[in-house]
Structure 1
Amino acid sequence: MREEKDARIIKREILPYLAPGIAKLLWGKDDKFFAGLEEIRLRIKSPLILKIGDRDYTINRRGEITTRLDDAYVVEGEDIYRSIASISDNSLYAFEEDIKKGFITIPGGHRVGLAGQVVYKGNNICILKNFSSICFRVAREIKGCAKGLLPYLIDKNGQIVNTLLISPPRCGKTTILRDLARMIADGIHIPFPHNVVIIDERSEIAGCYQGVPQLEVGVRTDVLDACPKALGMMMAIRSLSPEVIVTDEIGREEDIASIYECINAGVAVIATVHARNIEELERRVLFKELLKSKSFGRGVVLSRRQGPGTVEAVYRWDD
């Protein structure tokens, strides 16, 4: 059932945005293929790359999935051009602000990363043009994936504890973060629901398209899409009365300062950060001080050891 659902979603929400020749090659693949598909990468004059789990595959012109790159479908400039034309509905100007950030979100919450010539003015990106590669990342929500973790993030009064989700990229942080937001907002597996605000700087948690979440984040959740984390946290405190703020990939000094503001205002924070383990995180000056202050009561280390979202350890820092 899950494989069939994934196949329907990808065929309906992603394949129509690919260049026709590539979409035709992929269309006839079986449901198992689509269930494992995470990325589709197009690079000019290079083989089409399909990320399935931890391995790279390609497809040849006979429509066969293979690891042999010498027999791969080779992406041409026309494939890039036609894909981007479909994504932007033939109006790149309308997506100029998204392009400056290096990606466009399409219906369904799937993100299309862009690479090409970057034009700068001062310290600001004016535009990205002459595209050389694009990457379709499949957005998946796995409802219930955080069910086993949630009880560790609640105190004896039923309140959410400030929590850091820690892992390298591609270990399921954002998927778990989304599911935590959904369950906390809906009051699932916790004593009572909470008002949640998601600060979604990279449009990955809620997968907003034209400001509307494409993925399920809970009925008591507000989303500040494409908003810088530090600014968004302050906006949320001033105007949205959050009980819990959820945000992804903190790492700048201003992010940490805003987190302190949230915590001092009585708002719980659940955030993710890139690191392989606690020891690596402590070697980063900003986080060393944050952990030392015990502002976060829980730390959850994730990996891909048994698949994305494997919980390696839960640390309690509020004992």
Structure 2
Amino acid sequence: MAMESRRKGPVRRFEEAAGLLGGWGPLLGKIPEEVKEEAQEIRFRAGKPVTVCTGRRTWFLTGSGALLPQASSLCPSVSPGELQSLFRGLCADSLYSREPEIREGYLTLRGGHRAGVCGTAVVRDGEVSSLRDISTLCIRISREYPGAADEIFRRLGLPEGGLLIAGAPSSGKTTVLRDLARQLANGSRGRYCRVAVVDERGELGSACRGLAENDLGLTADLLSGYPKEQGILQAVRSLSPEYILCDELGGEKDARAVEAGMFAGASIVATVHAGSREELRERPVCRRLLETGAFAHVVQLAGRSAPGKVLSVEKAGDLLGQAGRTAAVGGGLRRDWPGGIP
């Protein structure tokens, strides 16, 4: 089947995610189409009503499938038993095999959707080994927005020399990164680039039996399930990529792998959690990534209220206050660009 015919619109994506939620699926299927189109999250909290969150507001689900702007007696609460049953269903009743994800506080779901998991930590030797008494499940709805990376390409061209995309949670980082891969690998930017996508959590390609459900482009190679460090090194050894893309960098291991990719001649395009320019400079993990020299430019996204909108772009060297790197990274700061994911 052609990728174009498999691409899913926002409403279908919502319904796909809702279909994973057991008995709640039919109820969520009744909510208005315009909310399905904008919905970013579905949240289940023990003892509280189900909420559907868009970038602009939070809705409360009634027992008939209607939505209210405020909670009322018409909104059934989720019992602890219902929440535990939903959690087991999302794990496909295979808690043991999902333990590594659960320890990190998430589950990757079919279709690239993601469930954030909160509960009571089981701690062994100072480390979280598991969770019990699940208290919250946050279903993050995966979306494809062709053109989400257009503004970045318009301002920077091909991201040679590396690009770090920073943003707060729900700011559209993964969506923009996915579209960057697609455009680099489908020839729409003048040529077909060799792209390696390291997809540790299954959110970029959403691979099922080796086939990416999301469109990453014709010349993209998907390394699904690899820890970022191992995936980057495997890509360098096996694929000779021009670009290596990965989501949510963090920690010294990732920084060292980024350096290895850069020294092998690949441009690294990656995302990092940072809601502001100040946070980028002050968070040790962000500063360490910038200091690798693997990123020529940094894109700051606007935030949850405008997912995918580019707020600013600047040279990594300028961000660090290293004027001596100007010749190496080029570019400059531009603010308040229009755009954003529709």
TM-score, length of structure 1 as denominator length: 0.86
Shift of residue 290, structure 1, vs aligned partner: 5.1
Structure 2 CA distance for aligned equivalents of residues 278 and 204 of structure 1: 25
Alignment of 1:118 onto 2:121: yes
Instruction: For residues 119-166 of structure 1, give each alpha carbon's deviation from its aligned partner in whole angstroms, at most 9, with x where no partner exists.
Output: 3443554433332321211100101111232243446xxx73311112
- Tell whether the 8 Å contact from 1:172 to 1:308 is kept in structure 2 after alignment: yes
- Tell whether the 8 Å contact from 2:109 to 2:115 is kept in structure 1 after alignment: yes
Partner of 1:9: 13
- Tell whether the 8 Å contact from 2:122 to 2:128 is kept in structure 1 after alignment: yes
Structure 1 CA distance for aligned equivalents of residues 29 and 284 of structure 2: 48
Partner of 2:174, secondary structure, is helix
Partner of 2:226: 227
Q: Structure 2 vs 1, CA of residues 306 and 154 (structure 1 numbering), >3 Å: closer, same or farther?
A: same
Structure 1 CA distance for aligned equivalents of residues 304 and 171 of structure 2: 9
Partner of 1:44: 46
Shift of residue 35, structure 1, vs aligned partner: 0.4
Shift of residue 293, structure 1, vs aligned partner: 6.6
- Tell whether the 8 Å contact from 2:55 to 2:304 is kept in structure 1 after alignment: no
Shift of residue 213, structure 1, vs aligned partner: 2.7
Alignment of 1:82 onto 2:79: no
- Tell whether the 8 Å contact from 2:108 to 2:201 is kept in structure 1 after alignment: no
Shift of residue 89, structure 1, vs aligned partner: 3.4
Alignment of 1:24 onto 2:29: no
Alignment of 1:177 onto 2:180: no
Shift of residue 97, structure 1, vs aligned partner: 4.0
Give the 5 Å matches for 1:108-257.
108-122=111-125, 125-154=128-157, 160-188=160-188, 190-209=189-208, 212-257=211-256
Structure 2 CA distance for aligned equivalents of residues 91 and 224 of structure 1: 23
- Tell whether the 8 Å contact from 2:268 to 2:294 is kept in structure 1 after alignment: no
Shift of residue 209, structure 1, vs aligned partner: 4.4
Structure 2 CA distance for aligned equivalents of residues 175 and 191 of structure 1: 22
Partner of 2:170, secondary structure, is coil
Structure 1: gaps (5+ residues) = none
Shift of residue 278, structure 1, vs aligned partner: 3.0
Structure 2 CA distance for aligned equivalents of residues 60 and 290 of structure 1: 45
- Tell whether the 8 Å contact from 2:30 to 2:66 is kept in structure 1 after alignment: no
Structure 2 CA distance for aligned equivalents of residues 225 and 187 of structure 1: 23
- Tell whether the 8 Å contact from 1:18 to 1:82 is kept in structure 2 after alignment: no
Structure 2 CA distance for aligned equivalents of residues 5 and 47 of structure 1: 27
What letter is aligned with 1:149? I
Aligned residues: 310
- Tell whether the 8 Å contact from 2:52 to 2:58 is kept in structure 1 after alignment: yes
Instruction: For residues 248-269 of structure 1, give each alpha carbon's deviation from its aligned partner in whole angstroms, at most 9, with x where no partner exists.
Output: 2223122222212211111100
What letter is aligned with 2:278? E
Partner of 2:339: none
Shift of residue 19, structure 1, vs aligned partner: 3.8
Q: Structure 2 vs 1, CA of residues 122 and 218 (structure 1 numbering), >3 Å: closer, same or farther?
A: farther
Structure 2 CA distance for aligned equivalents of residues 57 and 100 of structure 1: 29
Structure 1 CA distance for aligned equivalents of residues 167 and 94 of structure 2: 37
- Tell whether the 8 Å contact from 2:205 to 2:213 is kept in structure 1 after alignment: yes
Q: Structure 2 vs 1, CA of residues 296 and 128 (structure 1 numbering), >3 Å: closer, same or farther?
A: same
Q: Percent identity?
A: 31
Shift of residue 170, structure 1, vs aligned partner: 1.4
Partner of 1:83, secondary structure, is helix
Q: Structure 2 vs 1, CA of residues 8 and 230 (structure 1 numbering), >3 Å: closer, same or farther?
A: closer
Structure 2 CA distance for aligned equivalents of residues 207 and 237 of structure 1: 22
What letter is aligned with 2:79? E
What letter is aligned with 1:192? R
Q: Structure 2 vs 1, CA of residues 78 and 23 (structure 1 numbering), >3 Å: closer, same or farther?
A: farther
What letter is aligned with 2:265? G
Shift of residue 50, structure 1, vs aligned partner: 1.3
- Tell whether the 8 Å contact from 1:107 to 1:214 is kept in structure 2 after alignment: no
Partner of 1:260: 259
Q: 2:66 aligns with which of 48, 64, 69?
A: 64
What letter is aligned with 2:255? I
Partner of 1:55: 57
Shift of residue 73, structure 1, vs aligned partner: 1.9
What letter is aligned with 1:222? D
Shift of residue 245, structure 1, vs aligned partner: 0.6
Q: 2:108 aligns with which of 90, 105, 108?
A: 105
Q: Structure 2 vs 1, CA of residues 79 and 262 (structure 1 numbering), >3 Å: closer, same or farther?
A: same
Shift of residue 219, structure 1, vs aligned partner: 2.1
TM-score, length of structure 2 as denominator length: 0.81
